[in-house]
Structures are given as C-alpha cells and as structure tokens.
A = this chain, B = another copy of it.
C-alpha cells in the first residue's frame, strides 16, 4: 500500500467526500464479484458520474491507478477505507429508542457499511432494559458516562425536535465528535463537532416542488 495520505488537507470538495464513499461501496461490490481491476470509466458509470470526476476525486489523495490498466480493486478499497476513516468498525451510540430508533437498530444498511450501534439510550423507564437487535436499552441519565466508557465518538439522535438541542448538548459533553440528527432544528453546539441533519420534510419539499 503506497498510501500517500499525507498529501491531503487543503480544501477537498464536500461532494468529493460524498462520492468517495460511493466509489468504496461499488468497489466492495466488485470485490464480491471477483473483479480485480477496474478503469475509471466503468467505476464512473456504476456511480453515475463522469470518469474525469472519478480520477480528479482520487487525485486529491494520491496516485492509485496504473496507466493503461486502471485501478486495482483491493488496493483502492483499502486506500479509500483509510481516507474515509473506515478502517475498522465505527461504534455508534443511538439516543432515542422510539419507532425511528428501533428502525435504525434493525437497519441493515448501516451495519453492512461498517457502522455498528453498540449502545442505545432512552429516558422512558419502560424501554430501559429491553433488548432490541442485540443491543440493550440503557438509561439516558447515564448516557455521557457510558459513551465515554466505551469510547464512542459518533451518535445518532432519534429524539423529538423539542428534546434535540438538550440531547446534543449532552452528547457534546460526552466528547462525541459527530452527530446525525433527524430533528429539523438548530443544535447549538461547538463548531468542532460535525453535525448532519437528515431533514425529511425538506427532502419531500424538494421532490414536490416543480420549479
């Protein structure tokens, strides 16, 4: 692995980061099919982008291809995993075990890609102690402590919008550095914590809008 992930740093487009994951997903699919080598052209088609885009995206991080041949699937997979910090399983905490939370616990799309919910919290006494998909729901009042003990750095918030800001605050205190929220509202937390907000209503609005 000639990993030159030391070239990195300055201004990688947000879109590039998103695409890198798509490439990785496609590469894993190719691995399963036993394909060893792929040109940018075909990787691009599979991900619905232009081949020059694939090459440019990769070139931000090094030279992974062989001219006249293409990219070695295993090698590039490892490079991308390394770039995206997906070398090992990512431990995730789930806060809020309502319908949405339960759905996330059973959602195969996350675990397949290397994200594993290893702890779940809820404030509702009736839920505490329940075991859902191998994870036992714990008391939300002990959340910070448990997250730190297990060295979890990523959290998914599936709590009502009204609770979201307070929960985010507590997650920040527990030293997580990334939060995925389903509440369409502002979370006033330190800027060094990354937030991603899945805003379903906003997605729906974009779909309906015909402008």
Chain B contacts for A21, CB-based, 8 A: 201-202, 205-206, 209
Q: Mark A107-121, 1 if CB is under 8 A from B, else 0.
A: 111101101000000
Q: Which of A9, A20, A109, A112 has the most CB of B within 10 A?
A: A109
Q: Contact mask A82-103 → B, CB, 8 Å, 1/0?
A: 0111100010100000111011
Give Cα distance in the complex from A15 to B29, angstroms.
31
Q: Is A30 an interface residue (CB 8 A)?
A: no
CB-nearest residue of chain B relative to A133?
B99
Closest-CB distance, A181 to chain B (whole angstroms): 10
From B109, B180, B186, contact of A184 by CB (8 A): B109
Contacts of A113 in B (CB 8 A): 201, 204-205
